[in-house]
Amino acid sequence: MRQLPEPSRKRLVQLAKVLEQHRCGEALTLTSEKLGELTGWTQHTIRRDISHLGIRCGSPNGYPADTLLAAIYETLGIAAEQERRHACCIVGLGRLGQAFLSGELFSASPFVLAAGFDKNVNRIETLKTAFPLYPQSRMRGVIAQGAIEYALLTTEDADAPAAARQLIDCGIKGIVNYTAAVLPRGEQTLIENVSPITALTNMLR
Amino acid sequence: MRQLPEPSRKRLVQLAKVLEQHRCGEALTLTSEKLGELTGWTQHTIRRDISHLGIRCGSPNGYPADTLLAAIYETLGIAAEQERRHACCIVGLGRLGQAFLSGELFSASPFVLAAGFDKNVNRIETLKTAFPLYPQSRMRGVIAQGAIEYALLTTEDADAPAAARQLIDCGIKGIVNYTAAVLPRGEQTLIENVSPITALTNMLR
DNA sequence: AGCTGTGAATCGATTCACAGCG
DNA sequence: CGCTGTGAATCGATTCACAGCT
């Protein structure tokens, strides 16, 4: 099996969500045409993406939804069965960071919030959370000890590059960047930019 | 001038941010190599992207930062001078939506928050904001009247598809989707998926 | 018969390589 | 001389077209 192309990977993430949404009560099999309608991609693209999974579960009435979903989970590394969880942390506990603190957002996902960091010690003493909060200086140790893989970056824009550099030095696998700052790049650290400004600017035309 | 390729557009958005960060005090000209270091892309890619702008401002010491920035703004449609503002709204005023309400986030951008919507009337009466809040039923009228172009979608996942359909029917230009739901597609409506779960799942490997 | 799955063709983006310019 | 700017080459993803399966 060849390495999954990046665009296909991202589409499969969406496709998995579509299948989850359709899970209960809906048709048990879905054709590539139907999946195309639901996602906005062509049936060609859908079929190619699915073929990357290396299963061969198609039939004249389409793909069995459950088999397909399982195969996507498998390929993406979300092996549903084996209950593999990925630990995440939040860096920056301002207004935006606090919105994620409840952790409910993550309850139906393979991710768990395991720690929060802020440079303001006052905040970490005041806030009530289901997981521990630490001053940013303790980042390295906590990330290593807790085997934390990913980070949500929700600091002030001005503090973001420095915080990102720390995270990269800790060997974090990926940073979801909610700030408008452009972050330094690390060899092994992936970055997804999701600041509202960036997203909106991307759409301008 | 040909139509700007989508990948180049997105890189130019980032490049503009890098130039803004370097604006004060730093070198007045930047070579493609330097820009490459700052962004993680190759100098080839950078030069190609800049060539799409159709200016010819390069020299052996690189590009003049201010000219370059102005050209990017021009091409992206953020004509800094003419103070063209793009009105946005927030749909869904739960924890996450409220984090955006202050609108400070948008102050250094060409975007302005012009309205908020929630299906829960209680919320729109309780919250204090610098712009008006409405029940979701009034979306169509408010969006038309306020010439609102873009929306941030921060409802519960379950309510997201319906809200998106409404927005698409209103002819909104783009939706920044903070929910994990996969949204229906409209002909003229762009969608950026920025839910934490989606972003994290994209990075899994 | 109608779908999938996949080689082959196409299309578009990135990279190379070098001419032209400051 | 060292950079930019851009045709040409390469690389990768999407689309086409059809063989194979159910």
DSSP B107-139: TTSSEEEEEEEES-HHHHHH---SS-EEEGGGH
Contacts of B169 (CB under 8 A, 6+ apart): B140
Decide if B170 contacts B117 (C-beta within 8 A).
no
Measured distance CA(B4)–CA(A153) in Å, rounded = 30
Residue B112 distance to chain A (closest CA, Å): 10
Cβ of B182 within 8 Å of Cβ of A109? The answer is no
Question: Within 48-77 of chain B, which residues have Cβ less than 7 Å from strand C?
Answer: 48, 59-60
Residue B78: the pLDDT is 83
Residue A82: the pLDDT is 54
Measured distance CA(A93)–CA(B45) in Å, rounded = 36
Taking only the tens place, the pLDDT of each residue in A33-67 is 999 999 999 999 999 999 999 999 999 999 999 99
Residue B14 distance to chain A (closest CA, Å): 7
Does A106 contact chain B (CB < 8 Å)? Answer: yes
DSSP H/E element including A112? strand A111-118
Residue A105: the pLDDT is 85
Q: B56 phi and psi, to 5 degrees?
A: -135, 70
Decide if B103 contacts B130 (C-beta within 8 A).
yes
Two structure tokens written together for B28: 């007045």
Contacts of A51 (CB under 8 A, 6+ apart): none
Strand D bases within 7 angstroms of protein beta carbons: 1-7, 12-17, 21-22
Q: What average pLDDT does this structure show over A132-144?
A: 97
pLDDT category, A80, cuts 50, 70, 90? low
Nearest CA to A87 among A105, A106, A108?
Answer: A106
Q: Mean pLDDT across chain A, nearest whole number?
A: 93
**Inter-CA distances, A112 with A31, A72, A122, A149, B200, Å:** 34, 20, 24, 10, 11
Q: B175 phi and psi, to 5 degrees?
A: -125, 125
pLDDT category, A128, cuts 50, 70, 90? very high
Nearest CA to A152 among A194, A90, A195?
Answer: A90
For A187 and D8, how far is CA from C1' in angstroms?
31
Measured distance CA(A51)–CA(A58) in Å, rounded = 10
Residues on chain A touching B155 (C-beta within 8 angstroms): none
Residue A1: the pLDDT is 52
Q: What pLDDT tens digit does each residue of chain B (205 aa) get?
A: 568 999 999 999 999 999 998 877 677 899 999 999 999 999 999 999 999 999 999 999 999 999 999 999 999 988 755 567 899 999 999 999 999 998 788 988 899 999 999 999 999 999 999 999 999 999 999 999 999 999 999 999 999 999 999 999 999 999 999 999 999 988 889 999 999 999 999 999 8
Measured distance CA(A161)–CA(A168) in Å, rounded = 10
Measured distance CA(A43)–CA(B66) in Å, rounded = 45
pTM passes above 0.75:
yes
Does B196 contact chain A (CB < 8 Å)? Answer: yes
| Percent with pLDDT over 70 in chain A | 96
Residue A23: the pLDDT is 79
Q: Which long-range contacts (CB under 8 A, 24 or more apart) does A192-197 make?
A: A192/B199, A192/B202, A192/B203, A193/B14, A194/B194, A194/B196, A194/B199, A196/B100, A196/B105, A196/B106, A196/B111, A196/B152, A196/B176, A197/B105, A197/B106, A197/B109, A197/B111
Residues on chain B touching A14 (C-beta within 8 angstroms): 182, 193, 198
Residue B107: the pLDDT is 85
| Percent with pLDDT over 90 in chain B | 83
Asked whether residue A141 carries a pLDDT value surpassing 90, the answer given is yes
Decide if A192 contacts A175 (C-beta within 8 A).
yes
Residue A187: the pLDDT is 86
